[in-house]
Amino acid sequence: MSALKINNDSFEDEVLKSEIPVLVDFWADWCGPCKMIGPVIEEIAEELEGSVKVCKVNVDECRDLAIQYKIMSIPTLVVFKDGEIAKEVSGALPKDAILDLINN
């Protein structure tokens, strides 16, 4: 399964009410580093299907969410557990670093 595209309406149900951890990729079409890690995010979504939900939030389309979560630069990856932010990191990371972010 590929990463789920989230918007303002689906964020609460898909992320905050999720029973499994959620990795949220805050990104934009015009962002070079976002495009670099896009395929890696999709790989992780497939590999961890069932144990971790992977979602993408386009900050241009979902400005309210970007403001609410104080996203200052993109890409920003946020791990949510039980509706709360567990970890957050900005910048294009290699796959192992993203997996470490999720697993630790």
CATH of the domain at 73: 3.40.30.10
The count of domains in the chain is 1
In the structure encoding, which two tokens stand for residue 59, read together? Answer: 């900050």
Question: Residue 61 contacts by C-beta under 8 Å, 6 or more apart in sequence?
Answer: 7
SS3 56: strand
Which residue in 3, 24, 34, 78 is the catalytic one?
Answer: 34
Q: Which domain holds residue 18?
A: 4-103
At 2 the pLDDT is: 87
pLDDT tens-place string over residues 14-70:
999 999 999 999 999 999 999 999 999 999 999 999 999 999 999 999 999 999 999
Beta bridge partners of 76: 26, 90
At 57 the pLDDT is: 97
Q: Is 34 a catalytic residue?
A: yes
Which residue in 3, 15, 24, 31 is the catalytic one?
Answer: 31
At 104 the pLDDT is: 81
Q: How many CB atoms lie within 10 A of CB 86?
A: 14
**pTM for the model:** 0.95
Examine the pLDDT at 1 and tell me if it is beyond 80: no
In the sheet with 84-90, reading across from the earlier edge strand, the strands are: 4-6, 53-58, 22-27, 76-81, 84-90
